[in-house]
Amino acid sequence: MSTAGSKGKGQGAKGKRLKAAPQQSRVRTVKEIAAIAKVSVATVSRALQRPEIVSEATRLRIHEVVKRLGYTPNALARNLRTARTRLIVALLPDIANPFFSEVIRGIEQVAYENGYSVLLGETQSSLVREQAYADMVAARQADGIITMSHRVPAIPIDGRLPVVNACEYVKDSEISSVYIDNVAAAGVAVDYLIMLGHRDIAFIAGPPSSPICVDREQGYQLALQRAKIRANPALTTVGDFSIEAGERAIELLLSQGQSFSAVFCSNDEMAIGAMRALSSHGLRVPEDISVVGFDDIRFARYTSPPLTTVAQPKNALGREAMTMMIELLNDPEVPPRKRVLSADLVVRGSTAARASKRG
Amino acid sequence: MSTAGSKGKGQGAKGKRLKAAPQQSRVRTVKEIAAIAKVSVATVSRALQRPEIVSEATRLRIHEVVKRLGYTPNALARNLRTARTRLIVALLPDIANPFFSEVIRGIEQVAYENGYSVLLGETQSSLVREQAYADMVAARQADGIITMSHRVPAIPIDGRLPVVNACEYVKDSEISSVYIDNVAAAGVAVDYLIMLGHRDIAFIAGPPSSPICVDREQGYQLALQRAKIRANPALTTVGDFSIEAGERAIELLLSQGQSFSAVFCSNDEMAIGAMRALSSHGLRVPEDISVVGFDDIRFARYTSPPLTTVAQPKNALGREAMTMMIELLNDPEVPPRKRVLSADLVVRGSTAARASKRG
DNA sequence: CAATTTCATGTAATCCATTACATTGCATTG
DNA sequence: CAATGCAATGTAATGGATTACATGAAATTG
C-alpha cells in the first residue's frame, strides 16, 4: 500500500552552471542608489526612513531610483546600527500541540501588526534547547522571548530581561505574564460537575512541576471543599498531558476498582484519552461517566460526545503576551504586569447529571 | 463563569530609572575581550571560530576571559559580515493546522541540528503577508524560504532562488520540492474502498487552486476507471479543508438524495466533519457509510470510529525540505530536485465492507 | 647556515545602513 | 543689512564582528 518513492535525479538537464545570468540586477546598497540619484547616502537613508525631512523633489527622485532598481535596505546592517532585530522568540515545548499553536497564532498576529516576526523556539522540553534560544537574545539575534514554560530562561544581559511569560506564569515579579486564573477556572468546572450531582470526581492532573497544574489541582480541591465533599486521594492521578496519559489514568483507576462518576482532566488531550479508555471498557460518556477537559482545543467540539471543557482564550493569551512584549521593548521602564484573562466553561455533550445509581 | 480580569498598575514603586545598575556586566565586544586577554581582535575571533589555528596557550587564555565575562559575539555583526543569517522562513497558511504543525516540526528539527532557526511565516493565505515574508529574504534577514503553498514567492534577487517547496509542489523546475505522489496515494485509498465492495464512492475535494487537490481528485478518478466504475460527477463536492466543509459536503449530498456507501475526503478535517454530519443523520460509520481521510493528523486515530486515512510522512516532509534547503544554501549549484516520499494507507475503524443492501 | 616554509598573531579593510555633526543657502527679523 | 534661524543635504563616525593581507619568529630543508 505504499505509493512509490523515488530519489531526485542527479544532474539537471542544463546543469552547466549559468554563472548568475548577466541580468543587470545585483544586490543594491545605499551607496549605489545615492550615486545614481546624485545625492549622499544620508539623504537616501532619510528619504526612506523619514521622508518628511527630505525635499519633495529629491524624495521623488530617490524613490524612483529605489523602485526602479528594486532596492531593499539590508536589514542586518540596519539592525546592527539600531540594535534591534524586530524578532521575537516564541519558546514552547511543542508546536504540534493544538493549544500552543493557537497561542502562537495570537502572538504572530500582533507581531505582524507591529512589524515584528516570530522565531519558532520549539524546545521539546529540553533545557539545552531552551538555553540555545535564550542565547539568541544575548547574541542580539532576537529582541525578546515569550516563553510558554514556567522557567525563565537565563539571558546574560543586565537590566530588564526582555521576557514575557504566557499561559504559564513565574513567581519572579519582574517578569510580565499573561494567564488565566487556573484555580478559579478549575473550580468552576468542578463546581459544575458537583451541581450535576457528582460526588466521586476523579482528577487527572498534569506534571506537578508546572504551577498551572498545581493551581488546577488546587481548584479541584477547593471546589470539593466548598461542597463539603471529602476528597479521595486515590482518585487523583498524574499524567503528562498526552492522550495516552489520559487512557492510562483511566486504566489505572478502573483496575484499582475505584468508583467515580465523573473525571476532570487538566487538559483536553487527556480528556480525549480518558473518554477512549472509558468507552473501551464499555462505560458510556456521559451516561455512566461525565468527562471535563481543559483548554478547549480545536478538536474538543468534534469528539464524540463533544467535550465539555474550560475554554482558555488562546488567541488572546498570545496577543496579549506579544502586546506586553512590544510595550516592554519600547520602554524598558514600564513596570512588569501580571495580566489575568478570563476562562469560561463550555458545556458540551460529555457531561450529564449523575445517574441515580451506579459506580 | 468568568474568572476575573485585572489591569496592570501604572508607575512602578521605584520608578525612578536606575540607569542600568552599576553591575559591572555590560554587553561585551571582541575589542574588550581582546584587550583583557592581551591579544588582537582577530585572534579572539579566531579562537572562537576556528580554535585549532590558535596556539593552545592563547586559546585557553581567551576562552577563560570569554567565559568569565560571559561574552557572546554579536550575531548581527557576524551576519552582516558573512552575509548569512542562519534563519529560514517557513511559509504556511495556518500554524494551527495539525498537518502543517507536524511538518514544521520536522523543519525545526533539522534546522536546529544544523544551527539554523525557523522564522514563522503564517500567511493566513494572504498574498500580502506571503510577500512580506519573501521580502525578508531580499532584506537579508533570512537565508531562504520553505513554502508550503503552491506559489513561489517573488524574491527580487538573481541567481538561484533560495526557495524549497514542501507538501505542495510547483511546476517551476528550478524549485526543489518534497511531496508525496498524491495521485497514487489517493488511488490506493479508493482502491481499498472498491476492494471492500463500494461502488458509489463520494469524493470531497479540496480547493482546486492547489495542484495536490487536483492530483487527489485524479487519483480518485483513475481508481474508479481501473475498476470500470462510471464516476458520478454529482458525488464530487469541493470543500476548503475545514471540518465544517466536510459537514456541509455531506449535508449537500444527502439533501440531494445522492446514494453512496463510502466517502473519500481530501483531508482528515473534512473526514471528521463528514463523520459528524453522517452520524447526525443517523447514518453509522462504518456500518452504513465508510469514510477515508487524508494526512493522518494526530487526532485521526482518536476519532470514533478511528479514521482510516492516507498517512503522509509529515515529519519526513519537513525534515527533507529543510535538508534540501541547507544543501542549496551550502552550494547554490546543486541542481533542483523533486523528491517524492511514500504515503501509506492506514486502515482503522471508519471503513468496512459494503453492507449487502443499502444506499 | 642561508633559504624557505609554516605557524601564530597583528593591522586594517570590509560588510551596509544609520545618524551625529557640519555645512550651505535662503528666509526671516529687528 | 547684519544677525539669526531653519531647511536641506553632505561628511564621516559608528555599530561589532570577520578575514585578507602583512609580519615576525620558529622550524624545516638542502
Q: Give the pLDDT of residue A172.
A: 87
> Do B132 and B187 reside in the same domain of the chain?
no
Q: What angle do the packed helices B30-37 and B41-49 form, to 10 degrees?
A: 100
The model's pLDDT over A328-357, given as tens digits with 9 standing for 90+, comes to 999 988 999 999 999 999 999 999 999 765
Residue B156 and residue B88 in one domain: yes
User: Are residues B42 and B119 both part of a single domain?
Assistant: no
A95–B95 C-beta distance less than 8 A = yes
Report if residue B96 sits inside a domain. yes
**A102, B96: Cβ pair inside 8 Å?**
yes
Helix (H, G, I), strand (E, B) or coil at A238: strand
What chain A residue is nearest to B332 in terms of C-alpha separation?
Answer: A17
**Which residues of chain B neighbour A122 with C-beta distances below 8 Å?**
105, 108
> What mean pLDDT is reported for chain B?
90
Residue of chain B with shortest Cα separation from A181: B3
**Residue from A87, A93, A92, A141 nearest A119 by CA:** A87
Q: Is B79 within 8 Å of A76 when comparing Cβ atoms?
A: yes
Instruction: In whole angstroms, give the CA distance from residue B42 to residue B59.
Output: 12
Instruction: Kindly tell me if the per-residue pLDDT of B25 is higher than 80.
Output: no
pLDDT at A17 over 80: no
- What pLDDT shows up at residue A153? 87
More confident residue, B355 or B214: B214
**DSSP E strands: which ranges in chain A?**
87-92, 117-122, 144-147, 163-166, 176-180, 201-205, 236-238, 262-265, 290-295, 308-311, 338-341, 344-346
Q: Is A132 helix (H, G, I), strand (E, B) or coil?
A: helix
Among A18-22, A124-128, A171-175, B99-103, the range scoring the smallest mean pLDDT is: A18-22
The pLDDT of B45-71, averaged and rounded, is 94
Would you say residue A2 has pLDDT above 80?
A: no
Which triple of cell numbers denotes residue A20?
Answer: 548568475
DSSP per position, B153-189: ------SS--EEEESS--S-TTSEEEEE-HHHHHHHH
> Which residue range is the domain that position B189 belongs to?
182-311
Both A284 and A213 in one domain: the answer is yes
For B236, the grid coordinates are: 464530487
pLDDT at A123 exceeding the cut of 50: yes
Q: Is A280 on the interface with B (CB under 8 A)?
A: no
A168 and A140 in one domain? yes
Q: What is the pLDDT of residue A16?
A: 32
Residue-wise DSSP of A162-176: -EEEESS--S-TTSE
Q: Residue A307: its chain B contacts at CB < 8 A? A: none
Nucleotides of strand C lying closer than 7 angstroms to a protein CB: 7-12, 14-20
Chain A residues touching residue B70 (CB < 8 angstroms): 156
**Domain presence at residue A354:** no
| CATH code (residue A41) | 1.10.260
Looking at the structure, tell me whether residues B307 and B329 fall in a common domain: no
**Interface contact flag, B77 A79, Cβ < 8 Å:** no
Q: Which three cell numbers stand for residue A271?
A: 480528556
B283: three-class secondary structure by DSSP: coil
Are B66 and B158 found together in one domain? Answer: no
With 0.85 as the threshold, say if the pTM is over it. Answer: yes
Q: Is there a domain that residue B68 lies in?
A: yes
Average pLDDT of the residues in B77-82: 96
Q: Is residue B25 part of a domain?
A: no
**Cβ atoms B340, B181 nearer than 8 A:** yes
Chain B residue closest in CA terms to A154: B70
B106 touches B323 (CB < 8 A) = no
| Cβ-Cβ contacts under 8 Å for A31 (sequence gap 6 or more) | A41
Domain count for chain A: 3
- Tell me the pLDDT tens digit for each residue of A238-264: 999 999 999 999 999 999 999 999 999
- Do B295 and B151 reside in the same domain of the chain? no
pLDDT tens-place string over residues A156-181: 777 789 999 999 888 888 999 999 99
Whether B355 has a pLDDT exceeding 90, the answer reads no
Please tell me the number of Cα atoms within 13 Å of B48 on its side-chain side.
20
Would B16 be classed as within a structural domain?
Answer: no
Please tell me whether residues B93 and B156 are part of one structural domain: yes
B5 part of a folded domain: no
Q: Is A52 on the interface with B (CB under 8 A)?
A: no
- Hey, are the CB atoms on A140 and B75 less than 8 Å from each other? yes
Asked if pLDDT for residue B9 goes beyond 90, the answer is: no
Whether the Cβ atoms of residue B89 and residue B136 lie closer than 8 Å to each other = yes
Q: What is the structure's pLDDT at A25?
A: 54
What pLDDT, in 10s, does the model give residues A32-60? 999 999 999 999 999 999 999 999 999 99
Write the single-letter amino acid at A57: A
**Cβ–Cβ contact A38 with B under 8 A:** no
Same structural domain for residues B173 and B267?
Answer: no
The distance (Å) linking the CA of A55 with the C1' of D3 is 26
Q: CATH number for the domain including A221?
A: 3.40.50.2300
Give the pLDDT confidence score for residue B26 in this predicted structure. Answer: 66
Question: Do the Cβ atoms of A122 and B105 come closer than 8 Å?
Answer: yes
Residue B156 confidence (pLDDT): 78
Question: Do A57 and A144 belong together in one domain?
Answer: no
Residue B350 in domain: no
In a domain, A356, yes or no: no
A73 CA to C15 C1' in angstroms comes to 13
Same domain, A167 and A212: no
pLDDT of residue A206: 96
Last residue of a domain, one of B15, B43, B73: B73
List the grid coordinates of B18. Answer: 536606575
Residue A13 has pLDDT above 80, yes or no: no
Q: What angle do CA B117, A212, A138 make, to 5 degrees?
A: 30
